[in-house]
Structure 1
Amino acid sequence: MTQPPHILIVDDHREIRDALVKYLGKNGMRATAATDAVAMDAAMKGGRFALIVLDVMMPGEDGLSVCRRLRAQGSIPILMLTALGDETDRIVGLEVGADDYLPKPFNPRELLARIKAILRRSERVEVAGGRLSGHRLAFDRWVLDTDRRTLTDVDGAEVALTTAEFRLLTAFLERPRFVLSREQLLDLTSGRAAQVFDRTIDNQISRLRRKIEVDPTQPTLIATVWGGGYSFAADVSEMQ
């Protein structure tokens, strides 16, 4: 029998923690609550979780620092809770590796929908990871190691990728020279639909270009298709 996904909720507001534990439990999930980063670390030592709901503003170690630390340790999915209207926290959260964000106050139904979308995406990534396990994909002057999630240039220098950057680059390398819309890229990389004025993909494209393009202001690898989205304009080959 398949076990329900176990969600770890990290938030210093008791009302939010208690409400989410109860709500997720009613909707077929297990949920454990932690008040801060210290309690989160203790919970993670004692159990395995499918996803972490992580508040940005917490006493002690804040959510952005926690997210950055978790990303350095592994790839557990993270949904960040941010202050309403605080665009900076949302952008930085995605930059340090969060899979999605939700501003407070939020509707529990939307939180549940986003959790399910992230888990579906995580399952697809695991399947793809199994298929591409141990592969090294070469393009232009780069080699992507799909196990280590690193880029190596022709001189052997390594470039670390965030989870979001790895997913985005992998989406392109699996579909070279295909035009992918922003909506398609968002679904492929985070498993969610685009919101009005959502610039997440554009921001991620800009950061990835800074890492792989000779001149990010005049990109030749990730081409912008006006009115269509983006296309990966280089040949991709598999190295043994």
Structure 2
Amino acid sequence: MTEQGLPTNRALSGRNLTYGLLDELGRAIVTGAFTDTPFPTEADLAKHYSVSRSVTREAVKMLTAKGLLSARPRQGTVVRPESAWNLFDPDVLRWLLERKFSLVLLRQFSELRVTIEPGAAALAARAGTPEGLALIEAGYRRMVAAEEGRDDALDADIAFHVSILQASGNPFYAQFRDVVVTALRTSILFTNRFKGRTASLPAHRAVKDAIEARDPEAAQAAMDYIIRDVLVLIDAAEQQDANATV
């Protein structure tokens, strides 16, 4: 590895170099490395990372497509404000997680989840196929295994929630997979740290049972309860922070 963290293997293809540079620059942008510093020119990037101009050009083009950069006449390439970033892009979501932990970001993630996942649970109850219900059952079984130390708790929880998006049968809900996975990783790490607890098996069982019983209202309410419980914890953490600064 170079000191910039890029691979040095000469057998790597140009595409791998491009994605290595994309990851390096995207992470730097999202974590604020260029807040007070102009974004480098393609020539400077090529020299600094010891890659070709075509590699830097392609990486910059991809970052532009993600909403992180824009090219302006006579101003060169500049970092765009966060409001312009494509927050549904899986790379952007991943880089956001690498910033300093933020209760604001966690609240925003949770507010989005509470508008998505209960609806997906209701749809899964109403129209879920046997294959979709089997996915939910498998996700729940993984959570049970994690409780017994036979699986990873975070991965199992994610598998359960993703299975409900898939079981909804609505491809638009399924497209929220990356958002929900990122939100869950942030949320679960927070709840474990703030309350020292893992996901509630009974609460998740209630979602599964309602879906299997073909009860959309109960499924929606049960999923809503899980996510709003996180919002309650966020409120408590924000109050704790406010009291600490008084």
Normalised to the residue count of structure 2, the TM-score between the two structures is 0.31
Normalized per residue, the structure richer in helix is: 2
Q: Which structure carries more relative contact order (alpha carbon 8 Å, separation 6+)? A: 2
Normalised to the residue count of structure 1, the TM-score between the two structures is 0.32
